[in-house]
C-alpha cells in the first residue's frame, strides 16, 4: 500500500484494537503515528516499542484538545465515548475523523454534525471495522445485485478461542443482559461456504440501525453466533440466569478474558431478500477470517490509507457510502480474509 504521508493520531492507541491498528499503519507507512490516551505512561511505552510518538489526551477533559489536534491530519478513535463533543471539535478543525465504535447512539450524534463538518471542511468516516463496517459493505454489495431489497439478515460469528479485549467483553455482556427472552429467540443461521447452520440470537449491533436509517431497509436485523456451537448453546442457555443474577453476571464477566474455548474463527453471513427483474430473489454473502480485533484493525488501516490518498467529500459518511466491497476485496484476500457472494437465487 502506498500513501501520502499524514499525521495520524490514534486515541486509545494502546488499547486492544488501537495498538493493532498502530502497528498496521506503521507497517503500511501511511504516515507519522501518534499514540494518544489519558495514560501518558501507557502511550509512551507502546510508542517506544513501535518507534512512534505519544501524547496525553483525555476525551473527558477538553483542555488540551486544540493543541493535540494542531499536530494531526487524521484522528482515529478506538475507545468508547459518552458523547460527540470530541468528534465535533475534530470536524470544526477541518480534520478527518475516523471512529471504530459499535455504538449507534454515538453514530446518530455524529451524523447530526453534518452541517458542522461541511461548514469547516471536515469529514467523519463511521462504521469502520468488522461489524459495523464489513457487514455494511456486504449488505450494500448484495443490495446492488437487486432491483429492490426488502429484508436483510446479518449474522456475526465470534470464536470463543479468540483474544477479546476487556471493553469488547463488557459491551457484549451489557447487550446480552438486555437481550430478548430465551430460548424462543434462538434461531439457526448459515455461515461459511458451503453453508453450515449455527445457533444465533438477536443482538444489538449498530449495523442494523445504520442500514435501516441510511440504506432505507426497515426490515433489517443482526444476530450473534459463537463457535464452537456446543459452547454457544450453553452460553445462550445461561443468559436468563445472567439476567436474573447481577452478581453472577459480574463474576462471569471477570472470568471471561481468561477462558478460551475452541478456535479464533470470525465469520460473517449476510442474506438479502428482494426482487430482481420482477422475481423474488435472495443474495447471500459470507466472510471467513480469524481474530476479530485484527480484522477490525485491518479494515481501519485500509480506510485511513484510502483517506490519505484520495479526496473524500466534507461531511459525515458511513463506510459503505464512500467505498465499495470491490475496492477492499484484494487487500482482504492478501490478509487471509475470504469473501464469497453466491449466485443470485430465484425462489420458485
Kind and range of the H or E run holding 282: strand 279-290
Nearest to 180 by CA among 207, 198, 200, 202: 202
pLDDT score of 138: 97
pLDDT score of 256: 66
Confidence grade of residue 167 (pLDDT, cut at 50, 70, 90): low
pLDDT score of 213: 96
51 Rama sector, left if φ>0, alpha if ψ -120 to 50, beta otherwise: left
| CATH H superfamily, domain 131-292 | Dihydrodipicolinate Reductase; domain 2 (3.30.360.10)
pLDDT score of 253: 67
Domain 6-129+293-334 falls in which CATH fold? Rossmann fold (3.40.50)
pLDDT score of 340: 94
The mean of the pLDDT values for the chain is 89
The pLDDT tens digits of the residues spanning 12-71 come to 999 999 999 999 999 988 889 999 999 999 999 999 999 999 999 999 999 899 999 999
From CA 155, how far away is CA 198, in angstroms rounded? 10
pTM score, whole prediction: 0.90
DSSP symbols for 24-38: HHHHHT-EEEEEEES
pLDDT score of 184: 55
Q: SS3 of 46, please? A: helix
Fold matches, 6-129+293-334 and 131-292: no
Task: Report whether pLDDT(140) > 70.
Answer: yes
Q: Which of 240-244, 253-257, 263-267 has the lowest mean pLDDT?
A: 253-257
Confidence grade of residue 1 (pLDDT, cut at 50, 70, 90): very low
Domains of the chain by residue range: 6-129+293-334, 131-292
Amino acid at each position: 500500500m502506498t500513501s501520502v504521508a499524514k499525521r495520524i493520531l490514534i486515541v486509545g492507541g494502546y488499547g486492544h484494537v488501537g495498538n493493532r491498528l498502530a502497528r498496521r499503519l506503521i507497517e503500511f507507512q501511511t504516515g507519522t503515528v501518534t499514540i494518544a490516551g489519558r495514560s501518558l505512561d501507557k502511550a509512551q511505552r507502546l510508542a517506544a516499542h513501535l518507534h512512534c510518538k505519544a501524547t496525553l489526551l483525555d476525551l473527558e477533559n477538553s483542555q488540551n484538545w486544540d493543541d493535540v489536534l494542531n499536530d494531526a491530519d487524521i484522528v482515529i478513535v478506538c475507545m468508547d465515548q459518552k458523547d460527540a463533543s470530541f468528534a465535533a471539535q475534530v470536524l470544526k478543525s477541518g480534520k478527518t475523523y475516523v471512529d471504530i465504535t459499535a455504538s449507534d447512539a454515538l453514530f446518530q450524534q455524529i451524523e447530526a454534525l453534518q452541517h458542522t463538518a461541511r461548514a469547516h471542511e471536515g469529514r467523519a468516516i463511521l462504521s469502520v471495522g468488522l461489524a459495523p463496517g464489513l457487514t455494511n459493505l456486504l449488505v450494500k454489495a448484495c443490495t446492488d445485485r437487486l432491483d429492490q431489497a426488502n429484508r436483510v439478515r446479518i449474522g456475526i460469528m465470534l470464536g470463543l478461542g479468540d483474544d477479546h479485549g476487556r471493553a469488547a467483553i463488557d459491551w457484549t455482556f451489557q447487550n446480552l443482559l438486555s437481550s430478548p427472552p430465551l430460548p424462543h429467540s434462538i434461531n439457526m443461521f448459515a455461515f461459511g461456504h458451503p453453508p453450515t447452520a449455527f445457533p444465533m440470537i438477536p443482538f444489538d449491533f449498530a449495523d442494523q440501525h445504520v442500514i435501516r436509517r441510511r440504506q432505507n431497509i426497515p426490515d433489517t436485523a443482526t444476530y450473534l453466533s459463537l463457535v464452537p456451537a456446543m459452547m454457544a448453546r450453553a452460553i445462550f442457555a445461561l443468559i436468563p440466569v445472567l439476567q436474573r443474577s447481577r452478581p453472577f453476571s459480574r463474576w462471569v464477566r471477570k472470568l471471561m478474558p481468561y477462558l478460551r474455548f475452541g478456535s479464533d474463527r470470525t465469520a460473517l453471513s449476510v442474506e438479502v431478500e428482494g426482487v430482481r427483474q420482477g422475481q423474488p430473489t435472495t443474495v447471500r454473502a459470507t466472510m471467513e477470517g480469524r481474530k476479530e480485533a485484527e480484522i477490525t484493525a485491518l479494515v481501519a488501516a485500509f480506510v485511513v490509507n484510502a483517506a490519505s490518498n484520495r479526496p473524500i467529500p466534507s461531511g459525515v459518511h458511513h463506510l459503505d457510502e464512500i467505498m465499495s466491497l470491490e475496492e477492499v476485496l484484494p487487500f482482504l484476500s492478501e490478509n487471509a480474509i475470504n469473501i464469497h457472494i453466491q449466485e443470485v437465487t430465484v425462489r420458485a
